[in-house]
């Protein structure tokens, strides 16, 4: 393995400007992780206009820092308030808050910080080793492979992600439909423009992201939490004892591996990995009844796994150009704004971005560990700021940010439209993630599919004759048919198991 590009990447990230943006990203990530409701997706969406004026490496380093920094920030509210700041910290509530009630909030936060650091570091090492290999393999991809990969990405995100599967598929279809608005890039014909010159240019990614993730989150959380008064638990000694570290060590090791593997899968990500890691620890425990009552492993496993997953989810984005979750779709959009196409060519065409972003995570992870424990007191004070004060300020920043991109009032209108749409989606149980992901992948699927059809003279069966695209389409059929296959597999009832034991 040639390590010179990796060393060059450290040279990029150690430049003072990039170090500063890494620090800014990590701090913002921790702060928004602390504030319930305003997650990394909403924050990245709101900050997208700012990235116009920043170099591509610095911009992506900052956005990546926000993403993995938020994973730890969400822990603080889970432990102190029984209120997860991030969806990936939901299971941390069970044992984190129980520890806080026992006067061991500091221990829970300390274990979470150590687990987050180790999980993140293990995942970054895996990312450093695996990403170039995957990118090298993907260099053989052509239009048929990209079309198949895009369809598989949308399908996996809709079927594996959180929430109702049917609603996720409906949201993804809406995203694909929105992606077709504007002039056809092949023929120039207008589609779904209704005679509007603004719509003829298509719908820009930034207003969609800022509306669906930024404005809708603010509206939804105002309604959900405006009457709640929080009183954080007291934080004592944040350094865990040797006994606590010994109990958590196995959970941290297993959480690192689970997070790394599940983070790579489209639709997997931090939420699924934290749930899987918690479930595994509870199943392995000699006394599973301790979980939910203040088990240290119940904090260590999910917090380690969600940080590992946040890092490894960069692998499909950087190497294949396929975002694994909604936040990665936003970073995908940020790269496109900078004129950079994520994918296998990124390693050779923009090695400064590829290795600069990966190596910035080593630095960012150390910054997280250094700052997380001493800054707990600051975060506790921030928690006392009422949402009714924060929300109007955030809305104003969002709308101003949308306007400054192109200086058009039309973009503010679009943000409001998608903000209301996102609010209604959340209200009725539709996740906005599949819509944004499908919108991002829609253009790639359409252009790749049409290029592939041109190659094979309009014969779609040509896609199946290529080894890689044929295999991906086979996987698509299995994923699509999986609910029917699962129903067809006979399941053993409890009575059957008892009968087998007797025999």
* pLDDT at 225 > cutoff 70: no
Range of weakest confidence among 181-190, 316-325, 470-479: 316-325
Strands (E), 425-503: none
* pLDDT at 369 > cutoff 70: yes
Cα separation values, 377 from 76, 104, 233, 238, 247, Å: 10, 15, 11, 11, 26
Question: How much is the average pLDDT of 462-484?
Answer: 86
* pLDDT at 7 > cutoff 90: no
Question: How much is the average pLDDT of 177-187?
Answer: 88
Range of weakest confidence among 11-15, 53-57, 388-392: 388-392
Q: What is the pLDDT of residue 491?
A: 59
Question: How much is the average pLDDT of 407-418?
Answer: 89
More confident of the two residues 30 and 265:
30
What percent of the chain lies above the pLDDT cut of 90? 9
Q: Which helix (H) or strand (E) holds 232?
A: none
Q: What is the pLDDT of residue 374?
A: 72
Helix, strand and coil percent figures for the chain, each rounded to 5: 75, 0, 25
Question: How much is the average pLDDT of 439-447?
Answer: 86
Range of weakest confidence among 6-20, 231-245, 277-291: 231-245
Question: How much is the average pLDDT of 179-186?
Answer: 87
Q: What is the pLDDT of residue 23?
A: 92
Q: Which helix (H) or strand (E) holds 259?
A: helix 242-264
* pLDDT at 421 > cutoff 90: yes
Q: Exposure pattern of 161-182 as b/e (b: 16+ CB <10 Å)?
A: beeeeebbbbbbebbbebbebb
Q: What is the pLDDT of residue 502?
A: 47
pLDDT digits (tens, 9 = 90+) for 257-280: 998 888 877 655 677 788 788 888
CB 44, CB 387: distance < 8 Å: no
Extract the tokens encoding 216. 């809708």
Extract the tokens encoding 376. 């707990």
* pLDDT at 501 > cutoff 80: no
Query: Whole-angstrom distance between the N-terminal and C-terminal Cα of the chain?
Result: 55
* pLDDT at 252 > cutoff 90: yes
CB 376, CB 109: distance < 8 Å: yes
Indicate the pLDDT class of residue 231, thresholds 50, 70 and 90: low
pLDDT digits (tens, 9 = 90+) for 398-411: 888 788 777 888 88
CB 111, CB 296: distance < 8 Å: yes
More confident of the two residues 149 and 257:
257
Q: What is the pLDDT of residue 336?
A: 84
Indicate the pLDDT class of residue 492, thresholds 50, 70 and 90: low
Q: What is the pLDDT of residue 178?
A: 92
pLDDT digits (tens, 9 = 90+) for 151-170: 887 887 666 555 677 888 89
H helices present in 139-241, as ranges: 143-160, 165-179, 197-200, 205-209, 216-225
d(CA 399, CA 414): 10
More confident of the two residues 100 and 85:
100
More confident of the two residues 19 and 395:
19
Q: What is the pLDDT of residue 85?
A: 60
Positive or negative torsion for Cα 108, 111, 115, 117? positive
CB 258, CB 273: distance < 8 Å: yes
Nearest to 47 by CA among 201, 213, 194, 161: 213
Extract the tokens encoding 394. 């955030």
Per the prediction, the chain carries an average pLDDT of 81
CB 18, CB 58: distance < 8 Å: yes
The Cα angle at residue 379 between residues 103 and 104, in degrees rounded to 5: 10
Q: What is the pLDDT of residue 140?
A: 76
Q: What is the pLDDT of residue 17?
A: 92
What percent of the chain lies above the pLDDT cut of 70? 87
More confident of the two residues 467 and 46:
467
* pLDDT at 142 > cutoff 70: yes
Extract the tokens encoding 206. 């930034």
Burial class of residue 384 (count of CB atoms within 10 Å of its CB; 0-12, 13-18, 19+): exposed
Question: How much is the average pLDDT of 22-48?
Answer: 79
Q: What is the pLDDT of residue 46?
A: 79
Cα separation values, 478 from 3, 45, 152, 215, 471, Å: 39, 34, 11, 37, 11
* φ/ψ of residue 191, rounded to 5: -130, 125
d(CA 23, CA 44): 15
d(CA 233, CA 81): 7
């Amino acid at each position: 393995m040639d390590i010179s590009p990796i060393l060059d990447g450290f040279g990029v990230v150690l430049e003072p400007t990039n170090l500063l943006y890494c620090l800014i990203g990590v701090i913002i990530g921790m702060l928004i992780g602390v504030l319930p409701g305003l997650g990394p997706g909403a924050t990245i969406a709101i900050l997208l206009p700012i990235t116009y004026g920043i170099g591509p490496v610095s911009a992506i380093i900052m956005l990546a820092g926000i993403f993995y920094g938020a994973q730890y920030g969400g822990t603080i509210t889970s432990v102190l308030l029984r209120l997860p700041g991030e969806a990936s910290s939901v299971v941390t509530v069970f044992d984190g808050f129980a520890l806080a009630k026992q006067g061991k909030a500091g221990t829970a936060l300390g274990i979470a910080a150590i687990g987050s650091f180790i999980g993140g570091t293990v995942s970054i090492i895996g990312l450093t080793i695996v990403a170039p290999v995957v990118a090298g393999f993907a260099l053989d991809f052509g239009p048929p492979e990209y079309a198949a990969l895009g369809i598989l990405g949308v399908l996996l995100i809709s079927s594996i992600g959180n929430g109702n599967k049917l609603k996720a598929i409906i949201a993804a279809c809406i995203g694909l439909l929105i992606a077709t608005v504007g002039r056809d890039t092949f023929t120039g014909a207008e589609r779904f423009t209704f005679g509007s010159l603004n719509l003829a240019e298509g719908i820009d990614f930034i207003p969609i992201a800022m509306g669906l993730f930024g404005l809708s989150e603010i509206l939804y959380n105002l309604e959900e939490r405006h009457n709640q008064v929080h009183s954080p638990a007291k934080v004592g000694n944040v350094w865990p004892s040797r006994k606590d570290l010994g109990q958590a060590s196995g959970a941290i090791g297993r959480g690192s591996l689970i997070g790394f593997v599940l983070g790579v899968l489209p639709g997997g990500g931090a939420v699924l990995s934290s749930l899987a890691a918690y479930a595994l620890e509870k199943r392995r425990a000699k006394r599973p009844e301790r979980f939910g009552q203040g088990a240290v492993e119940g904090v260590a496993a999910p917090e380690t796994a969600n940080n590992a997953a946040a890092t490894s989810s960069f692998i499909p984005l950087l190497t294949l150009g396929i975002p694994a979750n909604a936040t990665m779709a936003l970073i995908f959009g940020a790269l496109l704004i900078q004129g950079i196409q994520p994918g296998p060519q990124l390693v050779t065409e923009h090695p400064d971005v590829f290795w600069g972003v990966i190596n910035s995570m080593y630095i960012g992870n150390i910054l997280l560990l250094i700052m997380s424990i001493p800054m707990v007191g600051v975060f506790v004070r921030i928690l006392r700021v009422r949402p009714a004060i924060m929300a109007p300020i955030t809305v104003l920043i969002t709308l101003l940010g949308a306007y400054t991109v192109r200086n058009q009032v039309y973009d503010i209108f679009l943000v409001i439209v998608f903000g209301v749409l996102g609010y209604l989606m959340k209200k009725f149980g539709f996740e906005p993630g599949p819509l944004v992901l499908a919108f991002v992948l829609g253009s790639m699927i359409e252009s790749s599919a049409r290029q592939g059809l041109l190659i094979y003279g309009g014969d779609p069966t040509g896609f199946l004759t290529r080894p890689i695209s044929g295999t991906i389409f086979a996987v698509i059929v299995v994923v699509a048919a999986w609910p029917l296959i699962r129903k067809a597999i006979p399941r053993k009832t409890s009575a059957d198991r008892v009968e087998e034991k007797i025999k």
